[in-house]
Amino acid sequence: MSQIGSFALLLALALAAYSFLGGLFALWQKGPVSERVGETARRAGIATFAVIFLAALVLVTCAFLNDFSIAYIYHHSNRDLPAPYKFATLWSGQEGSLLFWSLLLSAYGFVLRLRYKTDPRLFAYASVVIAAVQIFFLLLLNFAAHPFALMQGSLPDDGTGLNPLLQYPEMVIHPPMLYLGYVGFTIPFAFALGALAMRYPGEKWIHITRRWTMVTWGFLTCGIFLGMHWAYSVLGWGGYWGWDPVENASLMPWLTGTAFLHSVMMQEKRGMLKTWNMWLIFSTFMLSIFGTMLTRSGLVSSVHAFAQSSIGDWFVAFLGIIFVVCLVLYLLNHKHLRSEHKLESLVSRESSFLFNNLLLLVACFTVLWGTLFPKISEWVQGTKVTVGAPFFNRVNIPVALLLLLLTAIGPLLAWRRTSLESLRRNFMFPLIGALIVGSILVAFGMKPWQDQSYFYSLMTIMLAVMVALTVISEFVRGGRVIGRHTGQNIFASMWQLARRNTRRYGGYIVHFGVVVIVIGFAGSAFNQDAEKEMSFGDKLTIGPYTLVCETYTEDDNANYGSQWAVMQVYKRGAKIATMTPERRFYKASQQTSTMVANRSTLAEDLYVVYEGQNQDTGRPIIKVYLNPLVMWIWIGVWIILAGTILAMIPNEQAQAVAARVAAPARLAQAEPVGAGD
Amino acid sequence: MRKDRCTRGKGTASAVPNGDAFGWRSALALRFPALKELRGFSRKAFSCALLSVAILTFLAADSSPARVNNLGHRMMCVCGCNQILLECNHVGCSYSDRMREELVAAVDRGDNDDMTLQWFVQKYGTTVIAAPTNQGFNRVAWIIPYLVLALGIVMTAVIVRAWRSKPLLAHPAAVQPATGPDLDRFRAQAQRETDL
Amino acid sequence: MTALLFCAMLTIAALLYIFYLPGTLRLGPEKTRLSYLRERKDAVYENLRDLNFDYKAGKLPEADYQSMKSSLEEEAASILSEMERIQQNAALRATKIKTTRTIR
């Protein structure tokens, strides 16, 4: 089996190389021969997908067949591992996840190469870029991190098993989502680089890539939040974001990608910021490669990072090459990125996008800076320091609040310029609403002068209300106009409104989701926890809840042994639930992990952890957290997803227009664009 | 291995408001020494400042469990798990249990925050502090993000100004503006075609 | 042995797919000025429609609306006029070719 896998990887490398060189030749040379070569290069790209898919299939099959002669399978699987997790072995270690990266990239490339008729020339350029990235990963797989490397010496009987932290249902979908996000940014990058190389006239390429970018962004968002949810439910420390380098690695491209999604609108609508957008997407791609490197090379210490290895050098070299290629192409073609319009006013949608980009990039830089500072400190002063959550929170919260403020103001500003009169007209309602909510909260005891965290919470909630009211007022106003025309009721009108301009109103729904999430974050200022050794009948009180320990149980199966507590939960005297926090001991890996019992409501999470037994008394230790508003975070993510999907649906109007205007394409044969020089 | 824990104190569970999930309160406490510098001010200003600082910090520095909670969130567990000391939850993590006991002991002794942290740094090295300190090169860690934000704002402002004042360089594919009767005719056409 | 055979077959299948009867990749003509202008026109029209819509929704004061509308319309007019020029030229050329043919 392993020979087939190894061979498939080599073959894939050859095919990708051909796809790259052949594609390049076809773009460079004109004539019937090069057109034939171009077609074979496209097909080679498609075949790369099939062959890499085969390699991945072989690896997973080996996991299912318990083929421990392959070192990777030995280290990441064992006989008693449940079937879904055997699938997950593909992305649970270094070599496998690089193979998975490569597979997803080739899958994206596959779809792109099938849809090449949208704009054959642009797609041919993009295909070449993708093949180049693919070559890098296949080189890595073949020569630096071979997933099919064999075990030395005598064959082991059983593997060392999958890391128990990863044996959780969400872990089966979290890495694929995150990787789809990471890898997906290759596509907009490939289109952007292609458009720059071919001096693409106009902004249509952005229109073509828009959906790709949104899909990618949606996947990355999902991946990040699934990771948060996983950390919350598995790691058992009562939180969801620990500013670990690997979490940071996924956040950075998300921040620049979000910036790109916004500023690209300026290019599409007004022909501005072209250079900026180009570099924004270049950096997003480089950050996702950098993120992969952080995760895989052991550059910084992290819970997720794998052992120190040499592949870091490969990544550094690759990043260097990308940068040089981008820079050279930019210097050659920068004239074509000149702006078509001037910025007319500081108070305009355009400048709000500028500041939005600025803040997102500052946040991204801060995260990068904090992640790398331990290294920098080691170089400069010779001592290691820790840069943990307190640093990131303190530095990023003000930036996040400013960003939230812009989210509230931005959509209300008109393109080009906004007069004071218009500002007053649009802004009064959200501002008054936020002030009312703020004063109610203060009246109900959220005193911002008592504690800085309360102050930040209050600001967050007020700004969130402002954003929500902005979104609502946009929907209601637009809905009224439609309603006047069609006579429908306001909800039907709002639905039609969203269908007419899916991107705008989908975007607003995403903003609304962000509001919901941010309110969830603000809840963390009011977290409580309590801990107690509990034997039968003992009580523990936290907030309005009382937990009574009923019994302890043990269980054992082939994969793990477990202990759990059965707790009765009372709220203000009435019994409301039975909860069973659990602790597992995984046999193959000889590691423990917690299974948190969590009773989640809109108001708060009652989060119970079985921490283990006191070795002296033998009594179990139970830790309880009362975390307000956490559920809002997960609800918000669903709203964001809904908004993203809505934004990807084509406009109703645009479809109709496209059908009408399909005809006059015949005259378009004559003069090429004046932009050819 | 696991004996008494800070929050468990004397056998009874005490729910400590763990309002420091984002480290805000710790941030405030970092600035606490600034009070000393207030001596030169007029009495009125001083008492006003003292009053407001006292109000602001009255949750941050009162009872000893709250101090333990605050300090424990400013340090890391050194076992390699990369977690905040009070959030480290490995059973049998020999470090975090011992460190928590040491922390409770230090607070009970009456050591102030700086002394306590210093004690931990001496014993476990500089990496035990969860965020860079405000001294020497470590200050750079704090300054740079704000500096970048400030620079970014200035840069954006400069760029915006430049854009507004400088004429546009001609785009290679620019469209010539329409003039005369053409202008009116096509404007009318555009108006017709974009009317809702 | 079977593995070797499988690998050989895989290679052959890939090569057949890639090189057997591949046809040509038609990159299509370079984009014309006209289609570029049409895209620009669509963008400006969309901006105009959005502007009209926002005005009707009560987001814009009358003065702002009128000035922005007129500058967008000017932009649209420039594009439309160049489009018409190109189309007239093309039509002119087509008739010329036709007439020369009929004379012959």
3-state secondary structure chain B: CCCCCHHHCCCCCCCEECCCCCCHHHHHHHCHHHHHHHHHCCHHHHHHHHHHHHHHHCCCCCCHHHHHHHHHCCEECCCCCCCEHHHCCCCCCHHHHHHHHHHHHHHHHCCCHHHHHHHHHHHHCHHHECCCCCCCCHHHHHHHHHHHHHHHHHHHHHHHHHHHHCCCCCCCCCCCCCCHHHHHHHHHHHHHHHCC
Tens of pLDDT, residues B119-161: 888 888 888 888 888 778 888 889 999 999 999 999 888 888 8
Distance (Å, whole) CA A587 – CA A593: 11
Q: What is the ipTM of this complex?
A: 0.84
Residues B100 and B21 occupy one common structural domain = yes
Q: Which of B104, B128, B152 is the last residue of a domain?
A: B128
| Residue of C7, C39, C46 with shortest CB distance to A4 | C7
Token pair in block for residue C11: 């290679």
Cβ–Cβ gap A673/C31 under 8 Å: yes
Distance (Å, whole) CA A118 – CA A112: 10
What are the Cα distances from residue A560, in Å, to A231, A308, A593? Answer: 20, 29, 10
H or E segment at C15? helix C2-19
Among all residues of chain A, which has the CA nearest to that of C17?
A: A43
Within A334-419, where are the H helices? 349-381, 389-409
Residues B103 and B33 occupy one common structural domain = yes
| Residue of C56, C73, C77 with shortest CB distance to B196 | C56
The separation between the first and the last C-alpha atoms of chain B, rounded to the nearest angstrom, is 75
Reported residue count of chain A is 677
The domains located in chain A, with CATH, are: 2-151+166-338+345-395 (no CATH), 419-500 (no CATH), 501-652 (2.60.98)
- Residue A336 neighbours by CB under 8 Å, 6+ apart: A196, A199, A200, A201, A675, B171, B172
Residues B33 and B96 occupy one common structural domain = yes
Residues B22 and B107 occupy one common structural domain = yes
Residues B98 and B26 occupy one common structural domain = yes
A417 in Cβ contact with A347 (< 8 Å): yes
Q: Is A531 on the interface with B (CB under 8 A)?
A: yes
Cβ–Cβ gap B89/A235 under 8 Å: yes
B83 in Cβ contact with B72 (< 8 Å): no
pTM of the model: 0.85
Distance (Å, whole) CA A80 – CA A64: 10
Q: Which residue did the predictor score with more confidence, C30 or A573? A: A573
Residues B82 and B46 occupy one common structural domain = yes
Query: How far away is chain B from the Cα of C45, in angstroms, using its nearest Cα?
Result: 6
Chains that touch B (3 or more CB pairs under 8 A): A, C
Token pair in block for residue A304: 């997720």
Cβ–Cβ gap B193/C45 under 8 Å: yes
Note which residues in 375-394 of chain A have CB less than 8 A from chain B. Answer: 377, 380-381, 383-391, 393-394
Q: Is B26 on the interface with A (CB under 8 A)?
A: yes
B95 in Cβ contact with B78 (< 8 Å): yes
Cβ–Cβ gap A450/B169 under 8 Å: no
Which residues of chain C does A54 touch, with a Cβ-Cβ cutoff of 8 Å?
10
> Does residue B46 sit within a domain?
yes
HEC letters along A272-318? CCHHHHHHHHHHHHHHHHHHHHHHHHCCCCCCCCCCCCCHHHHHHHH
B169 pLDDT above the threshold of 90: no
Query: How far away is chain A from the Cα of B43, in angstroms, using its nearest Cα?
Result: 22
Among all residues of chain A, which has the CA nearest to that of C40?
A: A202
> Does residue B148 sit within a domain?
yes
Residues B150 and B118 occupy one common structural domain = no
CA A504 to chain centre: 21
Q: pLDDT value at position A657?
A: 52
Distance (Å, whole) CA A252 – CA A363: 8
Cβ–Cβ gap B183/C79 under 8 Å: no
Residues B81 and B150 occupy one common structural domain = no
Ranges in chain A, pLDDT < 70: 297-309, 653-677
Q: Is B162 on the interface with A (CB under 8 A)?
A: no
Q: Is B150 on the interface with A (CB under 8 A)?
A: no
Cβ–Cβ gap C56/A481 under 8 Å: yes
Contacts of A261-265 with C-beta under 8 Å, sequence gap 24+, read A261/A213, A261/A214, A261/A217, A262/A353, A262/A356, A262/A357, A263/A353, A263/A354, A263/A356, A263/A357, A264/A206, A264/A210, A264/A213, A265/A353
The separation between the first and the last C-alpha atoms of chain C, rounded to the nearest angstrom, is 74
Note which residues in 5-64 of chain C have CB less than 8 A from chain A. Answer: 6-7, 10-11, 14, 17-19, 22-36, 39-40, 43, 46-47, 50-51, 53-54, 56-61, 63-64
Residues B124 and B32 occupy one common structural domain = yes
Q: Which of B128, B163, B178 is the last residue of a domain?
A: B128
Cβ–Cβ gap A592/B20 under 8 Å: no
Rg (CA), chain C: 27
- Among A623, A622, A626, which residue's Cα sits nearest to residue A551? A622
Which residues of chain B does A235 touch, with a Cβ-Cβ cutoff of 8 Å?
89
Chosen for mutation from B175, B182, B185, B192 (greatest number of chain C CBs closer than 10 Å) is B175
Q: Is B115 on the interface with A (CB under 8 A)?
A: no
- Among A136, A114, A138, which residue's Cα sits nearest to residue A126? A114
Burial of A7 (0-12, 13-18, 19+ CB in 10 A): buried
Burial of A389 (0-12, 13-18, 19+ CB in 10 A): buried
Cβ–Cβ gap B59/A609 under 8 Å: no
Q: pLDDT value at position A129?
A: 96
Tens of pLDDT, residues B33-56: 333 333 333 444 444 444 444 444
Distance (Å, whole) CA A364 – CA A254: 9
Classify residue A66 as left (phi > 0), alpha (psi -120 to 50) or beta. Answer: left
Q: How confident is the model at residue B14 (pLDDT cuts 50, 70, 90)?
A: very low
A280 in Cβ contact with A357 (< 8 Å): yes
- Among A184, A49, A197, A183, which residue's Cα sits nearest to residue A122? A197
What are the Cα distances from residue A194, in Å, to A326, A337, A393? Answer: 10, 13, 39
Q: Which residue did the predictor score with more confidence, B174 or A14? A: A14
Residues B19 and B82 occupy one common structural domain = yes
B61 pLDDT above the threshold of 70: no
> Does residue B167 sit within a domain?
yes
Q: Which of B128, B149, B164 is the last residue of a domain?
A: B128
Q: pLDDT value at position B2?
A: 36
Cβ–Cβ gap C87/A667 under 8 Å: yes
Within A487-576, where are the H helices? 490-500, 502-522
| Residue of C19, C24, C61 with shortest CB distance to A35 | C24
> Does residue B133 sit within a domain?
no
CA A604 to chain centre: 26
Tens of pLDDT, residues A87-144: 888 888 888 889 999 999 999 999 999 988 888 889 999 999 999 999 999 999 999 8
Cβ–Cβ gap A335/B172 under 8 Å: yes
- Among A262, A308, A312, A317, which residue's Cα sits nearest to residue A291? A312
Instruction: Tell me the residue range of the domain where B90 lies.
Output: 6-128
Distance (Å, whole) CA A462 – CA A438: 6
> Does residue B106 sit within a domain?
yes
- Please tell me what DSSP assigns to residue C72: H
Note which residues in 37-76 of chain B have CB less than 8 A from chain A. Answer: 52, 55-56, 58-60, 73-74, 76
Note which residues in 126-145 of chain B have CB less than 8 A from chain A. Answer: 126-133, 136-138, 141-142, 144-145
Chains that touch C (3 or more CB pairs under 8 A): A, B
Q: Please give the tally of structural domains in chain B.
A: 2
Cβ–Cβ gap B196/C40 under 8 Å: no
Token pair in block for residue C47: 């901006």
Q: pLDDT value at position A188?
A: 94
Residues B124 and B142 occupy one common structural domain = no
Chosen for mutation from B4, B18, B88 (greatest number of chain A CBs closer than 10 Å) is B18
Which residues of chain B does C45 touch, with a Cβ-Cβ cutoff of 8 Å?
190, 193-194
Distance (Å, whole) CA A613 – CA A611: 7
Chosen for mutation from A52, A481, A666 (greatest number of chain C CBs closer than 10 Å) is A481
Return the percentage of chain C with pLDDT > 90, whole number.
Answer: 10
Distance (Å, whole) CA A524 – CA A512: 20
b/e A52-63 (16+ beta carbons within 10 angstroms → b): bbbbbebbbebb
B166 pLDDT above the threshold of 60: yes
Cβ–Cβ gap C25/A42 under 8 Å: yes
For residue B189, how many other CB atoms are within 10 A of its CB? 16
Q: pLDDT value at position B105?
A: 86
A282 in Cβ contact with A326 (< 8 Å): yes
Q: Which residue did the predictor score with more confidence, C22 or C70? A: C70
Residues B180 and B150 occupy one common structural domain = yes
Contacts of A238-241 with C-beta under 8 Å, sequence gap 24+, read A238/A527, A238/A529, A238/A607, A238/A609, A238/A623, A238/A625, A238/A627, A238/B87, A239/A524, A239/B21, A239/B87, A240/A630, A240/A633
Classify residue C58 as left (phi > 0), alpha (psi -120 to 50) or beta. Answer: left
Chosen for mutation from A417, A453, A533, A621 (greatest number of chain B CBs closer than 10 Å) is A453
Distance (Å, whole) CA A376 – CA A366: 14
Which residues of chain B does A626 touch, with a Cβ-Cβ cutoff of 8 Å?
15
B85 in Cβ contact with B99 (< 8 Å): yes
> Does residue B1 sit within a domain?
no
Q: pLDDT value at position A377?
A: 87
Counted across chains A and C, CB pairs separated by less than 8 A come out at: 152
Which residues of chain C does B187 touch, with a Cβ-Cβ cutoff of 8 Å?
70, 73-74, 76-77
Q: pLDDT value at position A323?
A: 96
A541 in Cβ contact with B13 (< 8 Å): yes
